[in-house]
Amino acid sequence: MNTQSKRKAALAGVLAALALLLALGGAAALAQGSAKPASILTVCPPPGTGCDYTTIQAAINNAGAGDTIRIAAGTYTENLTVTLPITLEGGYSGPPDWTRSLTLYETIVDGSGSPTTPGDWDGDQISFPRVISDSGQYRMWYNGQSLTASGWGWALGLAASPDGLTWTKDGGNPVLEPGSDGEWDSAYRGQVAVLQEGGLYKMWYSGSDGGPWQTGYATSTNGLDWNIYAGNPVLPVGGGGSWDEQEASAPTVIQDGGLYKMWYHGCTPDYSLCSVGYATSTNGLDWTKYAGNPVLTGTVGGWDEGVVMWP
């Protein structure tokens, strides 16, 4: 099993342990025992044969407190508003049997406001968004994948929004693609952290050549055209036998009192253990890993046992 497959298996383990319970209001009415018996509503992409609705929002609008909405595999281009405690369940095959598998049946909500078209560079998946507030608007860098592209098919895109709800993808996408053959990040660049300081955008990104996943650095004056740091990776994996021997990636970075602080995830080679680590830097380039790493691990016997990833 290659590292991409192991990563997917690790993610599937996390998703299988999570239920998306949205409880944004109305809980008091349930406690008083006045609610109707819970119902199950179904959603399929158009034409929606055999399902109650063709959009998730339509199902939400017609759901009652405590209802469950089962969503068939597909990409749903919409933004969701929830005002009652309901349960949304994705990963279903759809009618007639409604088999559920989070690895076989992907349910994707694309809230970008710009529909994704099969065959586009991001036509098969959009994930790992990173958003900053910048000059009166929001800017989002996100991973996109096309299964028809060479290699793993991943690249990085940019979108902008005036309100955080309606997004417009940049016409120059993708803004960052994998490195050249032979480079440490030749198979993948993505899962980024971005800071804007004094007119300069600073990006820390995950990279891989198909082997270890490490963290690199790039800069830009406009958020579109990126200069890759020649000294990459700036946060390499640990040595043999360390908790982050296979991965030191998926960074989250803040600047606090003149010190850059990074939280990242590390994994062992077989992905049986993934945890969150911490590192600091005075310039964003030279990082010192915390001696007490990892700082966040799974709970033995708990829902997150073994895998704590993507801080």
Query: Is residue 148 one of the residues assigned to a domain?
Result: yes
Residues 211 and 256 in one domain: yes
Alpha carbon distance 208, 229 (integer Å): 15
Instruction: Please give the pLDDT value at position 116.
Output: 61
Tell whether the torsion through CA atoms of 139, 141, 147 and 149 is positive or negative.
positive
Residues 99 and 224 in one domain: no
**Dihedral (Cα; 102, 237, 186, 216), 10-degree rounding:** 100
Pairing of strands 200-208, 168-169: unpaired
Q: What is the mean pLDDT of each run of 10 residues along the chain (311 residues)?
A: 55 39 31 57 92 92 91 86 87 92 79 62 91 96 89 92 92 95 96 96 97 98 97 97 97 97 96 96 98 95 90 93
DSSP string, 64-115: -TT-EEEEESEEE-------S-EEEEEEE--TTT--B-TTTS-EEE--SSS-
Alpha carbon distance 50, 53 (integer Å): 9
Instruction: Please give the pLDDT value at position 147.
Output: 83
Instruction: Please give the pLDDT value at position 20.
Output: 35
Alpha carbon distance 282, 268 (integer Å): 28
Expressed as residue numbers, the domain containing 133 is: 125-289
Query: Is residue 294 one of the residues assigned to a domain?
Result: no
For residue 162, how many other CB atoms are within 10 A of its CB?
11
Instruction: Please give the pLDDT value at position 107.
Output: 82
Instruction: Please give the pLDDT value at position 13.
Output: 46
Instruction: Please give the pLDDT value at position 181.
Output: 94
First to last CA, the chain: 25
Q: Which amino acid is at 142?
A: Y
Query: Is residue 283 one of the residues assigned to a domain?
Result: yes
DSSP 3-state assignment of 254?
strand
Instruction: Please give the pLDDT value at position 6.
Output: 56
Query: Is residue 71 one of the residues assigned to a domain?
Result: yes
Instruction: Please give the pLDDT value at position 60.
Output: 92
Alpha carbon distance 267, 286 (integer Å): 21
- How far are the Cα atoms of 114, 163, 189, 229 from residue 170, in angstroms, in the given order? 10, 16, 18, 24
Query: Is residue 131 one of the residues assigned to a domain?
Result: yes
Tokens at residue 301, please? Answer: 């016997």
Residues 106 and 134 in one domain: no
Residues 174 and 239 in one domain: yes
Measured in residues, the chain has a length of 311
Tell whether the torsion through CA atoms of 125, 128, 134 and 136 is positive or negative.
positive
Residues 168 and 245 in one domain: yes
- The CATH number assigned to the domain holding 150 equals 2.115.10.20
Residues 142 and 282 in one domain: yes
Alpha carbon distance 208, 280 (integer Å): 22
Tally the domains of the chain.
2
Instruction: Please give the pLDDT value at position 111.
Output: 62
Residues 141 and 224 in one domain: yes
User: Which of 78, 69, 87, 109 lies closest to 23 in space, CA to CA?
Assistant: 87
Residues 101 and 137 in one domain: no
Widest pairwise Cα distance in the chain: 64
Question: Considering the entire predicted model, what is its pTM?
Answer: 0.67
Query: Is residue 305 one of the residues assigned to a domain?
Result: no
